[in-house]
């Protein structure tokens, strides 16, 4: 099976990229949550509206992070199956 080494490298690359995306999404979600907390301290309807948008963005980024984690775990399972472990 000559295509397996190439497949293994491809999966390793995907796994690495997913970990990077997960890290970035997690960091951005944390920043968005902090923005929400900062903006809701004020009694200004416009800032509250922005804060709600930040909260929504944080939630979406959290979902991206979870999707990346799930996909990375699936890639690990495939790699283990391919290596016979």
Sign (positive/negative) of CA torsion 24, 26, 32, 37?
Answer: negative
DSSP state of 42: S
Q: Which residue has the higher pLDDT, 3 or 50?
A: 50
- Has residue 1 got a pLDDT over 60? no
Mean pLDDT for the chain? 92
Q: Which residue has the higher pLDDT, 48 or 2?
A: 48
8 pLDDT tier (thresholds 50, 70, 90):
confident
Alpha helices in the chain (DSSP H): 3-39, 45-83
User: Would you kindly state where each structural domain of the chain is located, as residue ranges?
Assistant: 23-83
Q: Can you tell me the mean pLDDT for 57-85?
A: 93
């Amino acid at each position: 099976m000559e295509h397996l080494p190439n497949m293994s490298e491809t999966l390793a690359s995907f796994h690495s990229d997913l970990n990077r995306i997960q890290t970035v999404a997690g960091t951005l979600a944390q920043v968005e949550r902090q923005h929400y907390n900062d903006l809701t301290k004020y009694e200004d309807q416009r800032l509250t509206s922005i804060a709600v948008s930040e909260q929504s963005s944080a939630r979406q980024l959290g979902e991206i992070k979870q999707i990346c984690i799930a996909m990375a775990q699936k890639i690990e399972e495939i790699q283990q199956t391919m290596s016979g472990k």
